[in-house]
Every structure is written in structure tokens, then in C-alpha cells.
Amino acid sequence: MPERGPEEVVNEFIARVVAKQLDQACELVTDDCEYDNVPMGKNFGPEGIKAFLQPMVDGVDEVQFVIHRQAASGSVVMNERTDRFRVGDNWLDLPVAGVFEVGEDGRIRLWRDYFDLTTMNDQLALLGS
């Protein structure tokens, strides 16, 4: 089986996250992976990532990461996307810029997402009304 390149690893990771398969997604990260959810803080390793993401995916009916642009250079993959979360008939749409670094072992060692926290909180408030 051919080795996956960094972009394929990131695409598979995202597919597993949106499918709410966090255990399977975290098979693609290193034991010391840094997940820097920039306005909210850092989490480390598969357990830290799952502890952060699990309540989020459990609290919504559907997750989508709509990738608008993606570029890879060496071990780094960057994407511009809209992370979408459906609760009932309503969607929260969050513009995100993501940076991933994939190690030589083919696993993600850095995941950093940049987004505006106020935009997220404003939409969460609308979902709650």
C-alpha cells in the first residue's frame, strides 16, 4: 500500500472528525500532537484532542468542514474552510484557517486553527434563542 502524503493524511483526518469518529481520527495524530485552537487554547495528544472535540460533536446533529482552498508544501498543509455545525434545522457557520504539520511517520504533529471567537459566540447565542 503506498504511503499517504501530508495532504491525504489531513483530508482523511478531517473526514473522520466530521464523521464523529474521533478515536479513528486520533489514530492519525502523534502522541504529543499540539492542537492549538488559537482563540480557545491548546490541547495535546490524542486524549487531549478527543476531550476537547467530544462534547462539541456530541452536542450537534451534524458536522461539516467545507474546504474552500487548500495548499500543501512539504509537510505543511494549510486550508481555508467553513466549519459547519447543525443543531436541529439551524447551522452555525464558522470561517476557519487551518494549519497542519505531518511528521515523517505520516501522522499529524501540529493542528492549528484560527477563527474569530466573537463570530462563534454570536452564532451560538442565535442557536440558543
Active site (catalytic) residues: 83, 113
Which phi and psi (to 5°) does residue 60 adopt? Answer: -130, 160
Rounded Cα distance, 99 and 113, in Å: 6
- Helix, strand or coil for residue 5? coil
User: For every residue of 54-101, which 3-state class applies, written as one string?
Assistant: HHHHHCCCEEEEEEEEEEEECCEEEEEEEEEEEECCEEEEEEEEEEEE
Q: Report residue 84 CA to chain centroid gap.
A: 11
- Helix, strand or coil for residue 29? strand
